[in-house]
Structure 1
Amino acid sequence: MINSNIAALTLMAAKPGWEVTGTLDHIKIFTLEEDTLAIKIEMQVQIPSELAFSLLSDFALHAHWNKYYLSSRIVQNVTNDDKIYHTTTPSVHGNNSNDDLILVSQRKPCKTSDPYMIAVKSIALPCVLPFNQNYCKSQIQCAGFLIYSDGNNSSLVSYYNQPTTADTSYFAANFTGLSEKTASACIQFLESRSSNLNTTSLCDNS
């Protein structure tokens, strides 16, 4: 299960045919249309890649910048680098809120040219997340981040998402506006956290 999580993100990132559908300052949006629509968002962030990896690996922090998450909490540590989260998200169809159980697998680069990797997919473990009639089920087929170093204090963060067939029509109609806002919020969150850490470090040294 863990190996397939990493492999799925690696395979999606390596696929040819990504088309640019939008550009903003420090943000570039791509789509890939196969059986379902896949989305890629590149973000230029002025923080070290290792720090970006640390902040994005913690899905409990995602609700601070991604309005798609209402809550996210760890329910099981599988390994030091693989964790299971229970997440809740707003409904995209006007029904009850959604909940999901996701496996988050994080990997540091084996060599300097490799990216940091954070792979995400939904899993089914009824013993961990029993059925709750107050929620509708959501599902992530394949998603995650590849983070490349672009200098000492700069990173290229690429976010990938392949929604399930049930959510494709919603994302096709709304992904550009949502992606631009979410990417801008992500950049602001990462850079503000980096600034706060630097300020704290300066105060401690003084």
Structure 2
Amino acid sequence: MEVGVCAEAYQGGEPLRHINTAFMTFEVLDNDRKPCTLPRIRPEPVDGKRRFQEAIARKKIRLDRKYIISCKQSEVPLSVPWDPSNQMYLSYNNVSALKMLAARTNWVLTSEKNKVSLYTLEENQMLCFKVETHVAVAAEQVFLLLSDLRRRKAWDHHYQYVKLITDSHEDDTIYRVVTPSVTKGGKVQDFILLASRRRPCDSGDPYMIALRSVTLPAYPPTEDYNRGEVLCAGFSIWEEENSFTKISYYNQATPGVLPYISTDIAGLSSSFYCTFASCSAFLEENKDSLASLPTSTL
């Protein structure tokens, strides 16, 4: 929660003079030293509502300063070169990184709407987020439908255009994804993504769809697009009882990704809910379709 402090001065019968205003953020911890979720706040009309909205705006500014403005993405390339000689290594590390992110236990619930939950995790100057929901669709079918990124534009408005570049392996596919500009009038972004899919190794294990950026000589950055990069992202799909499936989407936010979600994290919007409500509808509409893994046409 944010607490505002205002310092004023006066002398004799003179009007009050504003000296300084400061804002401090406090975190309430439980007995296990984990952050507590505070009760919902209903601000008082007029000034109370204005202060409430200003506090949310300051939260977004802090996020932008800490994780976008202060990070110069070009100084530390996140993409790694891909070629047949290192595809096994890249695929293993892609899935392993997602498993490690999913295994973190200190996620903090930031927002929840109609059983779609948004969590954040700040660690080592890195901001990660997780979106979690449930669908009444078999886990295998969810896995098949979400594995083909070309179908993602049917439910995610951030995926404006998706091209399958190549199937490097039965469980590894490389795509080019085009997303809208993060600023009004700015360039659209494109990503070259390696999607690594894994079925459960044992009962109780999840299906995994891991995503990360790779570099391909045939698809260099161009002047018409801002080349974005993904360090670690993807889906963890858990089979539950009665054909219910838990879907967790993870993203280790980079400067190219964070602007799409920072307004949700700050509480200024709930587009994450709209996106995953659309995802749930897409999965339920196609739960009986013959989904298949993507096949290259090259």
TM-score (norm 2): 0.63
**Contact 1:26/1:45 (<8 A) preserved:** no
Give distance in 2, aligned partners of 1:148 and 1:8. 18
- Rate the CA distance shift 1:168–1:87 in 2: closer, same or farther, 3 A: closer
Give the number of the structure whose residues are more often helix, by fraction: 1
Q: Quick one: which of 202, 211, 214 aligns to 1:120?
A: 211
Counterpart of 2:99 in structure 1 is 10
Counterpart of 1:197 in structure 2 is 289
Q: How does 1:125-164 map to 2 (within 5 A)?
A: 125-127=216-218, 129-164=219-254
Q: Show structure 1 runs of 4+ deviating over 3 A.
A: 165-170
**Contact 2:228/2:256 (<8 A) preserved:** no
The structure with the largest alpha-carbon Rg is 2
- Rate the CA distance shift 1:166–1:30 in 2: closer, same or farther, 3 A: same
AA of the residue aligned to 1:178: S
Counterpart of 1:204 in structure 2 is none
**Contact 1:36/1:165 (<8 A) preserved:** no
Give distance in 2, aligned partners of 1:112 and 1:168. 34
Deviations 1:54-106 (A, max 9, x none): 00001000000001100112101110000000110001123111111000000
- Report deviation, 1:152: 4.1
- Report deviation, 1:17: 1.0
Q: How does 1:160-175 map to 2 (within 5 A)?
A: 160-165=250-255, 167-168=257-258, 171-175=261-265
**Contact 2:177/2:191 (<8 A) preserved:** yes
Counterpart of 1:91 in structure 2 is 181
Counterpart of 2:62 in structure 1 is none
- Report deviation, 1:24: 2.4
AA of the residue aligned to 1:197: S
User: Larger relative contact order (C-alpha < 8 A, sep ≥ 6)?
Assistant: 1
Give distance in 1, aligned partners of 2:149 and 2:257. 21
Q: How does 1:106-117 map to 2 (within 5 A)?
A: 106-117=197-208
Give distance in 2, aligned partners of 1:114 and 1:121. 22
Is 1:67–2:157 an aligned residue pair? yes
**Further displaced range: 71-80 or 16-25:** 16-25
Q: Quick one: which of 117, 121, 140 aligns to 1:50?
A: 140
Give distance in 2, aligned partners of 1:188 and 1:26. 14
Give the number of the structure whose residues are more often strand, by fraction: 1
Unaligned runs of 5+ in 1: 199-206
Q: Secondary structure of the equivalent of 1:180?
A: helix
Deviations 1:24-60 (A, max 9, x none): 2231221111222211111100100000000000100
TM-score (norm 1): 0.89
- Rate the CA distance shift 1:170–1:36 in 2: closer, same or farther, 3 A: farther
**Contact 1:37/1:172 (<8 A) preserved:** no
**Further displaced range: 18-27 or 71-80:** 18-27
- Report deviation, 1:23: 1.9
**Contact 1:87/1:102 (<8 A) preserved:** yes
Give distance in 2, aligned partners of 1:20 and 1:97. 31
Give distance in 1, aligned partners of 2:167 and 2:190. 19
Counterpart of 2:194 in structure 1 is 103
The number of aligned residues is 196
Q: Secondary structure of the equivalent of 1:132?
A: coil
Is 1:177–2:259 an aligned residue pair? no
Counterpart of 1:29 in structure 2 is 118
Identity %: 34
AA of the residue aligned to 1:173: T
- Rate the CA distance shift 1:162–1:153 in 2: closer, same or farther, 3 A: same
